[in-house]
Structure 1
Amino acid sequence: MQQELFLPVSNNFEKLFLSKKDYDVIIKAGEDNDQREIYAHSNILRCQSDYFDTAFSSNWAEKKDGKYFFKKPNILPHIFEIIIRYLYCGQLDLNVKNGPDTLKLLVATEELGLNILSEYIQEFLIKQNDPIGILEVAFQHENFTTLRGYGLEAICQDPYILFGTDKILSLPAQILESLLKRDDLVLDEIEVWNNLIRWAHAQQPTVNKDPSEWTKDELTLMERTLLRFIPLIRFHDITSEEYYDKVVPYEDLLPKKLKNEILKFYLVSQEKQIGSLPSRNVIDSALINSKHLALFAGWIDKKDKSLKMIPYEFNLIFRASRDGNTAAAFHNKCNNKRATIIVIKIKGTNQIVGGYNPLDWEGGGIIKDTQDSFIFNFTDFRDINTGKIGRVTSASYALICNHQWGPIFGNGHDLSMYPDNQNNKWYSNPMTYPNLNIPRNFEIDDYEAYQVVKK
């Protein structure tokens, strides 16, 4: 009923806007060949906008022969007409196909102090899912906080839409700095470093690509370019091998104090962190990183490849070295958490194995049926390409839940933790899953369980 009452009033104001009857405001929007006069009524503009109320109450607008003359050369005529029409009848038609005009409209609403309309357009742009373009606009205007927050978060959760592409080469320094400051950037730190170096070379195209050939002036130029970014790198999350291969060639860019801290970190086992910035909150694990998560997500979705956009959260719920390496401790932490993924590091090696349970671990001696479980084996956890998956071949015997044991995958104990009295022993006997060459009997350094939750 309220809508039926509102429409006639709205339509009448729209007719007034179109007819220009008794107008007393002339707005000259645009400039040169793009300039056009727009006619309006001061009472309506003053009622709807504090900006116009102030303009007509002061010397902002020239008044002659009973009419206000208002100049806005920086706002295109068709953009201004959209705004005036909205002020008259509360209607706004955002053309999805014309993104640049929508951005210009947003900029104009900020200048005219139309906060409600600005928020509405920001929400509209967010739905168009162009975080890079959105950020470039948002960082030009302090008030676009909604857009800025969305753009930064979207890229942090799906960094491959920017990092590793040519788009990063022309990224404004302010946006790159804001991204590198964040702890939720889901990207391995060595990839952060590699992209930063690519970006720096793009800003200084005359500098030799080979740092060993740099002149003193080229080194100084690159130092200035990267001065504000180097402290944002979490070097403690870069392995010694990666550091040697990727960072050492550029080591002259690092301050002497930082180089000494990095050297101490790699040589002194008690050192846990370099600098004041914590590790990025990709995942709380000493065994896996974001690349593993992307691959696990692909396996869960039966893509058999890494996903660029990870649709799951992996929440650490159990770590044997922290919570107790017993069956009771495992079940206490994991029984009611539904889907979980188990990650196990074989003692004295770089090998990690594990499995995915899409159900739960509740039950005493219960065999559970699912076609979605799998086990896996990475011969070297540092190399994602060594990972192999084995999907369940006999779904009716996919999982066994027993309070006296830890996790059990398969009727033949294809991957399982012995009962507590077996001294940290694990077992693999392929029957229900393919043979992934997991050792028949092995001990572990540690193992973890992650709750898998759809975002």
Structure 2
Amino acid sequence: MTTKFYDRLSNDLTQLLENPIVYNVTIEVGEEPASQIFEVHSYILQSRSPYFKKKFNEHSFNENHVKELKMPNISTKVFNVIIKYIYGGTISLEKLEISIIFDLLIASHELDLDELVEHLQTHISTNNASWLRLNFAHVYQTSFQKNFEIIQKFCNDIIAKHPDTIFESENFNSLTEDALISIIRLDNLQLEEDKIWDYVIQWGKDKNSDLPANLNEWTSNHFLTLKTTLKNCLPHIRYFSISGELTLKKLYPYQQLFEPKLWLDILTRFLASNNPISSTILPPRNILNATLPTRTAPIPSNIITNEHALEISSWIDRKEAPYTENNPYEFKLLVRGSKDGFDVKTIFEICDKISNTVIVLKVEGTGEIIGGYNPLEIKNNVNLKWYYSQDSFAFSLKTENLKNSIASRVTNYNYAILYDSNIPYFQFGGILCLRGNLKTVGGSFCSTSHYEKRIRSNENIFSVEEFEVFKVSPKK
């Protein structure tokens, strides 16, 4: 029996990293002036990473017998995690924002750290589904560029159930060919075949911007260009699942894209159905017999997800358990800081006389999402004045760094909401105080007065990375 003392080995090698005696490599990470130099040992790095083994062979020692590398594309925060993993075989993700973990995944792939790549994919897919949905198009593109199979599967499972997640995305036409093929190959893609055809044609046309907009102006060369672009996609369309009427309407205008034998077989199916067909007939897609519940359109937010909106709605209705689907409320975007400006005065001007609003803010540097629900009319041109409400509340929403959301209801009804459009102030009691320019550190802060409990562990002043205001209305 072999006894393995891995903990001691990991600790000793980590100590070697922290006190790099007889190091023979320096790696400058990040961009100046915020770059950092790591003193490391080539024999450890090249034994753990094929990337470093290749790099070290490409570099010579300087006069001090040290090899010098530069890695400006990796942040120091990310490299700190990676180098500790390389030396000690340990990694801690609890205090890292999900965006940093995703950067860590990309960097691990570039450094050929296969074990870490698999672990990070599993971690992100298991623990950060909301963030993945919020950044879906970017994540999906990256998963194919880097061949992140676990994340690809996670995304394809979402697309199969809700195809408009990607097909109606503004980034659809920038999909790589591999990504598009991966989608249209799905047996359980819940989308009619003629619509899949439409999207594939749309994608191909976008790749050839010089094609005439009017199909009547197309020459044989134009069709050949599109056919060449789509040559790897067209075999995955299930033509024999498209009705005769839609074949005439949608396929016939593009008949020059088809090989003669396939086009003849498509026509044979409708004109002489008893005649044999030699083309491969792909099985129809597994469309669910039961009607799928209408998918809630993605909330128009760069900060919160549909899951967050469901939770806020459940608080509005004072539900003990949060809604899990079919949000009874519509969230209409009124103000976005990056579009309309970050001054509180902007909120008063755009939202004047509008009631039942939700404001959400992403705190700069922490990834926290905080905000509040205000049932009262927002009033512009008001000097410092408190307003009565029994239904307002403030909140912090669940993120990768906050396991459970926090809702804090007003307790002192006479001091529920404060407006002052001159300074300007917009406050939920003292629990969420927004003042002046939200981008500027010094005005906004959180405390506990007039509401149940604090929504931030840190009551210090803060600035925001982004904020949004929504009008919340019952769905018709």
Q: TM-score range by the shorter chain?
A: 0.5 to 0.7
Shift, 1:25, TM fit:
3.2
Partner of 2:155: 151
Change (3 A) 1:53 1:231: closer
Is 1:69 aligned with 2:73?
Answer: no
How big is the shift at 1:183?
Answer: 2.8
Report if the CA contact (8 A) 1:135-1:151 is conserved: yes
Deviation at 1:65, TM superposition (A): 6.5
User: Equivalent of 1:167, from 152, 160, 171?
Assistant: 171
**Corresponding residue of 2:28:** 28
C-alpha distance in structure 1 between counterparts of 2:183 and 2:53, whole Å: 39
Counterparts in 2 of 1:32-181, with a 5 A limit? 36-41=36-41, 45=45, 49=48, 51=50, 54=53, 59-60=57-58, 62-64=60-62, 68-73=66-71, 75-78=73-76, 79-89=78-88, 90-93=90-93, 97-99=97-99, 101-127=100-126, 128-129=128-129, 130=132, 132-142=137-147, 144-181=148-185
Q: Following TM superposition, by how much is the alpha carbon of 1:194 offset from its aligned partner in structure 2, in angstroms?
A: 1.3
SS in structure 2 opposite 1:39? strand
Aligned match for 1:185, one of 189, 211, 228: 189
Displacement of 1:19: 5.4
Q: Per-residue CA shift, 1:103-130, capped at 9, x if unaligned? A: 4422332343322211111112323343
The whole-number CA distance in structure 2 between the counterparts of 1:36 and 1:68 is: 17
* CA shift for structure 1 position 234: 0.9
Q: Secondary structure at the match of 2:188?
A: coil
Local SS of the residue matching 1:166: coil
Q: What's the CA shift for 1:61?
A: 5.1
The change in CA–CA distance for 1:237 and 1:59 in structure 2 (over 3 A counts) is closer
SS in 1 for 2:211: coil
Q: Is the 8 A contact 1:184 1:280 kept in 2?
A: no
Q: Which protein shows a greater Rg?
A: 1
Count of aligned pairs between the two proteins: 286
Q: Is the 8 A contact 2:137 2:169 kept in 1?
A: no
Deviation at 1:72, TM superposition (A): 4.3
Change over 3 Å in CA distance of 1:25–1:281 after alignment to 2 = same
C-alpha separation between the residues in 2 aligned to 1:308 and 1:281?
A: 24
Aligned residues of 2:51 and 2:110 also touching (Cα < 8 A): no
Gaps of 5+ in 2: 299-476
CA contact (8 A) 2:190 2:286 kept: yes
> Once superposed, what is the RMSD of the aligned Cα atoms?
3.8
Determine whether 1:258 maps to 2:258: no
Alignment partner, residue 350 of structure 1: none
d(CA) in 2 for partners of 1:72, 1:148: 31
Report the Cα distance in structure 2 between the residues aligned to 1:138 and 1:195, rounded to whole angstroms. 21
Superposed CA offset, 1:8-55 (max 9, x none): 9877766664555664431233567675421234565467x1548856
Contact 1:235–1:274 (CA under 8 A) maintained in structure 2: no
- Residue among 209, 218, 230 paired with 1:214: 218
Distance 1:218 1:51 in 2: 46
Contact 1:20/1:39 (CA < 8 Å) preserved in 2?
yes
Change in Cα spacing, 1:34 to 1:246, as seen in structure 2 (3 Å) is farther
Q: Is the 8 A contact 1:190 1:242 kept in 2?
A: yes
Scaled by the length of structure 2, the TM-score of the pair is: 0.51
Which residue identity does 1:69 align to in structure 2?
K
Q: Give 3-state SS (helix, strand or coil) of 2:171's partner.
A: helix
CA deviation after TM superposition for structure 1 residue 84, in Å? 0.8
Q: Which runs of 5+ in 1 are unaligned?
A: 284-289, 299-304, 310-455
Paired letter, 1:138:
S
Check 1:50–1:175 CA distance in 2 against 1; reply closer, same or farther (3 A cut). closer
**Residues 23 and 39, structure 2, Cα contact 8 Å, conserved in 1:** yes
Distance apart, 1:176 and its partner CA: 0.9
Distance 1:52 1:182 in 2: 34
Deviation by residue 1:175-201 (Cα, 9 ceiling, x = unmatched): 112322333323211111111122122
8 Å contact from structure 1 (residues 27, 37) kept in 2 = yes
The structural deviation recorded for 1:74 is 5.9
Give the 3-state SS of the residue equivalent to 2:150 in structure 1: helix
Code of the aligned partner of 2:116: L
SS at match of 1:139: helix
For residues 229 and 59 of structure 1, the distance between their equivalents in structure 2, rounded to whole angstroms, comes to 41
CA distance in 2: counterparts of 1:229 and 1:52, whole angstroms: 34
**AA in 2 matched with 1:37:** I
8 Å Cα contact 1:158/1:186 also seen in 2: yes
Per-residue deviation at 1:210? 2.8
Identity of aligned residues (%): 23
Alpha-carbon deviations, 1:289-343, whole Å to 9, x = none? x5x53x2x43xxxxxx46789xxxxxxxxxxxxxxxxxxxxxxxxxxxxxxxxxx
